[in-house]
Amino acid sequence: MSSSTTQKAGNYLTSMIIIGVLFFIFGFVTWLNGTLIPFLKLACELKTDTQAFFVTSAFYMAYFFLAIPSSSILQRTGFKNGMALGLLVMALGSLIFIPAANTRNFALFLTGLFVQGAGLSLLQTASNPYISIIGPIESAAQRISFMGICNKIAGALSPLILGAIVLKNASKLEQDVLAATSEVQKAALLDELAQRVIMPYTIMAIILVVLAVWIRRSALPDVNMEADLEGDDKVATNKTSVFQFPHLLLGALCIFMYVGAEVMAGDVIGTYGKNLGFSLDQAKYFTSFTLISMLLGYIIGIVAIPKYITQESSLKYAAILGVIFTIAAFLTKGQTSVTFIALLGLANAPMWPAIFPLGINKLGKFTKIGSALMIMGIAGGAIIPLVYGEISKSLGFQMAFMVTMLPCYLYVLYYAVAGYRTK
C-alpha cells in the first residue's frame, strides 16, 4: 500500500471518528426534548399540550432561520472552525437554562433551546454534506447510517439520563402540586423541580466547550465540495440558480415531512402515552423506545444498503412501513398502540440517510446552498407537532396523530418513487 493511499485511509478514518462524535452530540441534545416537554409543562405550569410542543418549535425553527447563514459562515470559517463555533453556540444555549430554571421562565427556556438549535444548525450544515461526499455517493446512505447509530445511541441514552434526574418521582410530584394548600407551597415545589436542570445543563455546556477545543485542534481534513461533486456532473453545468433543481426542492420538503414525523414519533410519544393513561414516571422513557427502534433500523441500513437494496428502495419501503404502523397505532390501545408509535422509529431510520444524499445529488457548485435548503427542512419538527396539538383538540389525540402522520409518510413515498429523480 502506497503512503498516499495510507494517508487517505487515515484521513477517512479520522473524519469518520470526528463526525461520529458530532452526531453523538446531535442525538444527545436533540432527543432531550422528549423529556423536556412533560418537564416544562409541569415546571412552568403550562395549560395545554400545544404550549408544551413549543419546546420542539423553538429548537427546530432555528434550523429554518440559521441554515443559509450557517452556509455563509462555513464558507468563511471552513469546516473545522465552523464546527467548533457551532459547539460553542450550543454551550451558550445550555447555560441559558440556568437563569431560566431559577426564574421558571418558559420564554427563557425556549430562548436557550433556540440558541442550541442555532448551534446544531451550523454543525448539521457542515457535517451532513461532509459525510455524504467523503466517499462514493452510492454508499452515502451507509455512511450516514453509521452516523445515525452514533446519533441514536446518544438519543436513546439522553431521555433515560435526563428523565432520571429531572423527572425523578414525577408522578408523586404532580400529586403534591395538585394537593398544595397554598400558592407559596406550590411555587416551592415547582422551583425545586425547575432547578433540577441546572446541573445536567451546566455539565453539558462544559463538555461542549471541551469538544469545541478538541475539534479546533483536530486533524479533520477540509474538502472542496464543488471539486468533489462537479466531476462528471452534467446536470449542474447549465444551471444558474439552485431553484432550478426540482429534486432538491422536493427533497427539502421531504426532509420537512420526515423530520416532522420523526419528532412526532420520538418527542410526542410521551404525551401520547400520558393521554392513553400511562403515568409520567412510565411515559418519560417512551422516547428511548423509539430511539432504540431507530437504532435497529440504522443497523439494518448499514447491512443492506447498497449491497442488497438501493437508497431509493429503502426509502420507499420505509415510507410504506410508516403508513402501516401509523394506522396500527390508531386501531389499537394501551401498550400496543405505544409500541406501534415506537416502531415508527424503525420506519424513520432509513429516511434521512436516503433523502439527504438524493436531495444534494448532482448539484455541483450549488451543493453548499442546496445542503442549507435541505437543513431548512428540519423546521418540520417545529411545525408538525403544533399542527397535531391543535387538531387533537377537535379530533382526539389518536385520530389527530394519524391525520398528521399519514400525509408525511405518503409524501416521503412519492419522493422515493419519483421526486428524487434528476432531470
pLDDT tens across 202-236, in order?
999 999 999 999 888 887 766 555 554 444 455 55
How far is 187 from 180, CA to CA, in rounded Å?
A: 9
Low-confidence ranges of the chain (pLDDT < 70): 1-11, 129, 132-142, 221-237, 423
Tell me the pTM: 0.83
The reported pLDDT for the residue numbered 225 is: 53
Quickly tell me which residue has 412526532 as its cell: 264
Give the three cell numbers for residue 173.
Answer: 410530584
Predicted confidence at residue 365, as pLDDT, reads 77
Residue 306: cis peptide before it, omega within 30 degrees of 0:
yes
CA angle 96, 99, 105 (to 5 degrees): 100
CATH number of the domain located at residue range(s) 9-219+241-419 in this protein: 1.20.1250.20
Whether the CA torsion 41, 46, 52, 58 is positive or negative: it is negative
Question: Under a CB-based contact definition with an 8 Å cutoff, are residues 236 and 366 in contact?
Answer: yes
Handedness of CA 345, 354, 119, 263 (dihedral sign): negative
